[in-house]
């Protein structure tokens, strides 16, 4: 298949840039299962430092990173509290049950965001009838809710409450750097409210592969054992870690361009009869769109856009998602916006 011109399906579709490929080709490598890959070590140190954590661990995917973190925090039969649309619960293959033998108590948040008020009262009594409530997991930015940044004050309140009740805090930070750039709040300011935090290098940051888990030395040592058991011990992984390092050094500030481009798409959606923003104003690089049945189904609308070389994801019968990322330019986003507007009669 020749590559369609404008691929907005996900921020994972980026190809490594020539400079990133060069960094990868020239990376010093060794066997990381023997603890001998200097590039992986450098990435782990850099990640830990970025988040103000003691240690970090490189893994092949965000899913593995989150599931290893959950496995570190919970014992079989324990319960995880998260939003009902959380990636860890909806989009990770039932991993919490399958890999950690734990149960999940999903809570309906506001556009995917939990608050202290929603969590209070959700800790099960200390009684043998119940699962032991053990972990709160938040997501920032929150994907399914519309790419929202979880307000820092709310994160802080939840964390204080969780910690005073003996619960661990995990952040699914697949897009934490989008939250950092959109909010101006530093990575370590977010991180200090969590015991573990995952970050994806293969989303908006544009690396081909890889995520990392950051946390205390003790938790990361436990994570290291689980990573091996989950099949995530990689050998000369410095090749891919070099892409992630390059992304951290070069592709963070530019996330602001993706956010500005997402505003152009959001504006086009608002101008188009039959389309609306599913969760209100867009804050980062994800644009979730509700399609009015009068315009057709989400798949039909996606097919119409494909005809003019614009790819979006149909993620529900009447739901589309468009993502901006470093492989779509401002000009391409303008073209996509025009294609969106031409779907419906223009609102005046
Ligand atoms: C993509 C994503 C992940 C998992 O990443 P993979 O690398 O695809 O496994 C986790 N959380 C969120 C919010 C994501 O969007």
CA-to-CA distance for 319 and 326, rounded, in angstroms?
A: 24
β-pairing, 6-7 vs 310-311, is parallel
Angle at 122 between CA 116 and CA 123, to 5 degrees: 110
The 3-state DSSP class for residue 43 equals: helix
β-pairing, 168-173 vs 196-200, is parallel
Residue 241 CA to ligand 1 centre (angstroms): 17
pLDDT tens digits, one per residue of 267-318: 999 999 999 999 999 999 999 999 999 999 999 999 999 999 999 999 999 9
CA-to-CA distance for 182 and 227, rounded, in angstroms?
A: 31
pTM (2 d.p.): 0.96
Ligand 1 pocket test: which of 11, 14, 62, 211 has the largest number of ligand atoms within 8 Å of its C-beta? 62
Is residue 113 within 8 Å of 153, Cβ to Cβ? no
Q: Which residue has the tokens 């938790």?
A: 219
Angle at 8 between CA 4 and CA 89, to 5 degrees: 130
| Cβ 174 under 6 angstroms from ligand 1 | yes
CA-to-CA distance for 172 and 195, rounded, in angstroms?
A: 11
Domain 6-13+254-345 top-level CATH class: alpha beta
Residue 201 CA to ligand 1 centre (angstroms): 10
Nearest CA to ligand 1 atom 6: 62
Domain 31-250 top-level CATH class: alpha beta
Is residue 267 within 8 Å of 337, Cβ to Cβ? yes
Task: Round the CA-based radius of gyration of the chain to a whole number and report it.
Answer: 20
Domain with CATH 3.90.1150.10 in the chain: 6-13+254-345
Average predicted confidence (pLDDT) for the chain: 96
Domain with CATH 3.40.640.10 in the chain: 31-250
Task: Give the ligand 1 atom nearest the CA of 203.
Answer: 1
**Amino acid 344: pLDDT:** 82
Ligand 1 pocket test: which of 13, 64, 91, 150 has the largest number of ligand atoms within 8 Å of its C-beta? 91
| Cβ 150 under 6 angstroms from ligand 1 | no
Low-confidence ranges of the chain (pLDDT < 70): 1-4, 345-348
* Residues in CB range of 184: below 8 A, 6 or more apart: none
* Residues in CB range of 244: below 8 A, 6 or more apart: 43, 58, 201, 205, 207, 209, 210, 212
> Other CB atoms closer than 10 Å to residue 276's CB: what's the count?
15
Q: How far is CA 43 from the centre of its chain?
A: 19
Task: Give the ligand 1 atom nearest the CA of 172.
Answer: 11
**Amino acid 347: pLDDT:** 47
> Other CB atoms closer than 10 Å to residue 176's CB: what's the count?
27
| Cβ 62 under 6 angstroms from ligand 1 | yes
**Amino acid 211: pLDDT:** 98
CA atoms within 13 A on the CB side of 187: 22
């Amino acid at each position: 298949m020749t590559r369609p011109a404008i691929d907005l399906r996900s921020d994972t579709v980026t190809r490594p840039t020539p400079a990133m490929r060069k960094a990868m080709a020239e990376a010093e490598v060794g066997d990381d299962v023997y603890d001998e890959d200097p590039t992986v070590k450098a990435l782990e140190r850099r990640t830990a430092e970025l988040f103000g954590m003691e240690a970090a661990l490189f893994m092949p995917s965000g899913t593995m990173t989150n599931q290893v973190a959950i496995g570190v925090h919970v014992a079989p039969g324990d319960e995880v509290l998260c939003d009902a649309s959380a990636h860890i619960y909806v989009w990770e293959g039932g991993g919490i049950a399958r890999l950690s033998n734990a149960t999940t108590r999903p809570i309906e948040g506001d556009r995917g965001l939990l608050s202290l008020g929603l969590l209070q009262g959700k800790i099960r009594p200390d009684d043998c009838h119940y699962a032991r409530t053990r972990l709160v997991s938040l997501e920032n930015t929150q994907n399914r809710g519309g790419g929202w940044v979880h307000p820092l004050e709310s994160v802080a309140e939840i964390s204080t409450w969780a910690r005073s009740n003996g619960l661990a805090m995990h952040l699914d930070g697949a897009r934490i750097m989008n939250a950092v750039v959109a909010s101006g709040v530093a990575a370590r300011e977010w991180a200090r409210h969590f015991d573990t935090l995952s970050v994806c290098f293969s989303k908006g940051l544009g690396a081909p592969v890889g995520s990392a888990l950051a946390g205390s030395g003790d938790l990361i040592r436990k994570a290291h054992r689980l990573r091996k058991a989950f099949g995530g011990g990689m050998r000369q992984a410095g090749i891919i870690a070099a892409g992630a390092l390059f992304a951290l050094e070069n592709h963070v500030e530019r996330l602001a361009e993706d956010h500005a481009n997402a505003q152009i798409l959001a504006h086009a959606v608002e101008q188009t009869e039959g389309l609306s923003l599913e969760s209100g104003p867009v804050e980062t690089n994800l644009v979730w769109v509700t399609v009015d049945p009068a315009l057709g189904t989400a798949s039909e609308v996606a097919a119409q856009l494909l005809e003019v070389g614009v790819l979006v994801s149909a993620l529900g019968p009447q739901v589309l998602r468009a993502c901006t990322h470093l492989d779509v330019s401002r000009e391409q986003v303008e073209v996509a916006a025009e294609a969106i507007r031409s779907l419906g009669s223009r609102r005046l």
